């Protein structure tokens, strides 16, 4: 029985495909027009659909797994119908309330009864204002929400933003944040029961790529007398791995996994201790 994974088209497509490729699952024999693709595993098939539809596909059992935004799971009201297995760490957005500058709406305390709110996310918008105890009119639109206050269609908008640049360009300011979102791996609950072993394989493969993000492997040779000293400057995931080098001078071979941002500091420090033959190697996957 094949495992079907729905993959988002659009802005989440490129990082999702890259993740699948790097994990070893792969995407085979597909061009941009094809909706189905094979993988390196004959028991896994990919289906390319809109990210907005994936929560429904997975909850309904059309696919066993899916990659989609957390915000879309919430907007489709599928939080209790799919299982979020993994935060994939990309596609970060904030869903915000925004108002035009100069309107006097600076915080949620400035909301008024009967305000019009334009959005592509009517369910989350209604849920938000219900919690605030404010009755509003939700104007359901498809795209270009930022123009709504400028042409008098709405007093507020609810939209997603990553940098806020588009909002500032249209002289809009954030009033409140509804939620923050990233891409998630979601599963159908029944599929988890029936295909748990295969799903765990996929989760582990993707998780291994995420764990390796930004990590480097440092290998070096060091005089044996410097062992205690180097332990203080090499953080590593579980401490450095140490082995003896067969040489005339007592030497140790050290290897350690570190954050990429630490490489410059560590290389300088170990060079001062007399380290040589230093290699810095990129890491593709880290498996527990």
Q: What is the pLDDT of residue 8?
A: 97
Domain-located, residue 287: no
Tens of pLDDT, residue by residue over 114-168, are: 999 999 999 999 999 999 999 999 999 887 888 888 888 899 999 999 888 888 8
For the chain, percent helix, then strand, then coil, each to nearest 5? Answer: 35, 35, 35
Q: Are residues 137 and 255 in the same domain?
A: no
- For residue 245, the enclosing domain spans 215-282
Sheet with 215-223, strands from edge to edge, namely 241-245, 251-259, 215-223, 276-282
CATH number at residue 277: 3.30.70.120
Q: What is the pLDDT of residue 239?
A: 67
Q: Are residues 202 and 223 in the same domain?
A: no
Domain-located, residue 163: yes
Q: What is the pLDDT of residue 107?
A: 93
Percent over 90 (pLDDT), the chain: 70
Q: Are residues 205 and 132 in the same domain?
A: no
Look at the chain and report how many structural domains it folds into.
Answer: 3
Rounded mean pLDDT, 279-288: 90
Question: How many Cβ atoms sit within 10 Å of the Cβ of residue 104?
Answer: 8
Tens of pLDDT, residue by residue over 160-203, are: 998 888 888 889 999 999 999 999 999 999 999 999 999 999 99
Q: What is the pLDDT of residue 193?
A: 95
Tens of pLDDT, residue by residue over 58-115, are: 999 999 999 999 999 999 999 999 999 999 999 999 999 999 988 889 999 999 999 9
CATH number at residue 171: 3.40.190.10
Biggest CA-to-CA distance, the chain: 84
Q: What is the pLDDT of residue 169?
A: 87
Per-residue confidence band for 247, with pLDDT thresholds at 50, 70 and 90: confident
Q: What is the pLDDT of residue 248?
A: 73
Rounded mean pLDDT, 265-273: 90
Q: Are residues 47 and 161 in the same domain?
A: no
Domain-located, residue 27: yes
Q: Is the pLDDT of residue 47 over 80?
A: yes
Q: Are residues 61 and 74 in the same domain?
A: yes
Domain-located, residue 288: no
Per-residue confidence band for 231, with pLDDT thresholds at 50, 70 and 90: confident
Q: What is the pLDDT of residue 34?
A: 83
Q: Is the pLDDT of residue 237 over 60?
A: no
Q: Is the pLDDT of residue 242 over 60?
A: yes
Q: Are residues 153 and 268 in the same domain?
A: no
Q: Are residues 98 and 207 in the same domain?
A: no
Q: Is the pLDDT of residue 241 over 90?
A: no
Q: What is the pLDDT of residue 27?
A: 94
Domain-located, residue 18: yes
Q: Are residues 68 and 208 in the same domain?
A: yes
Q: Are residues 196 and 223 in the same domain?
A: no
Q: Are residues 87 and 204 in the same domain?
A: yes
Per-residue confidence band for 229, with pLDDT thresholds at 50, 70 and 90: confident
Contacts 24+ apart (CB under 8 A), 208-211: 208/23, 208/285, 208/286, 208/287, 209/19, 209/22, 209/23, 209/284, 209/285, 210/19, 210/86, 210/88, 210/89, 211/285, 211/286, 211/288
Q: Are residues 128 and 104 in the same domain?
A: yes
């Amino acid at each position: 029985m094949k495992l079907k994974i729905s993959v988002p088209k659009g802005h989440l497509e490129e990082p999702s495909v890259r993740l699948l490729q790097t994990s070893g699952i792969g995407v085979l024999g597909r061009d941009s027009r094809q909706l189905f693709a094979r993988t390196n595993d004959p028991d896994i098939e990919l289906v390319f659909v809109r990210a907005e539809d994936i929560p429904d596909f997975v909850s309904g059992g059309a696919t066993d797994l899916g990659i989609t935004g957390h915000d879309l799971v919430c907007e489709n009201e599928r939080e209790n119908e799919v299982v979020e297995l993994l935060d994939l760490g990309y596609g970060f957005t904030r869903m915000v309330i925004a108002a035009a500058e100069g309107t006097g709406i600076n915080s949620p305390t400035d909301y008024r009864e009967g305000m019009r709110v334009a959005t592509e996310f009517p369910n989350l918008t209604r849920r938000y204002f219900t919690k605030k105890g404010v009755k509003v009119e939700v104007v359901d639109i498809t795209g270009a929400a930022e123009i709504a206050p400028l042409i008098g269609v709405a007093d507020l908008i609810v939209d997603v933003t990553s940098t806020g640049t588009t909002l500032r360009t249209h002289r809009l300011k954030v009033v409140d944040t509804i939620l923050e979102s990233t891409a998630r791996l979601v599963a159908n609950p029944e599929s988890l029961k029936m295909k748990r072993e295969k799903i765990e394989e996929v989760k582990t493969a993707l998780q291994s790529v995420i764990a390796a993000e930004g990590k480097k492997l440092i290998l070096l040779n060091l005089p044996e007398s410097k062992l205690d000293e180097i332990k203080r400057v090499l953080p590593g995931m579980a401490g450095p791995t140490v082995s003896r080098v067969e040489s005339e001078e007592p030497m140790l071979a050290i290897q350690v996994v570190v954050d990429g941002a630490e490489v410059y500091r560590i290389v300088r420090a170990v060079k001062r201790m007399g380290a040589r033959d230093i290699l810095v190697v990129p890491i593709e996957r880290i498996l527990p």
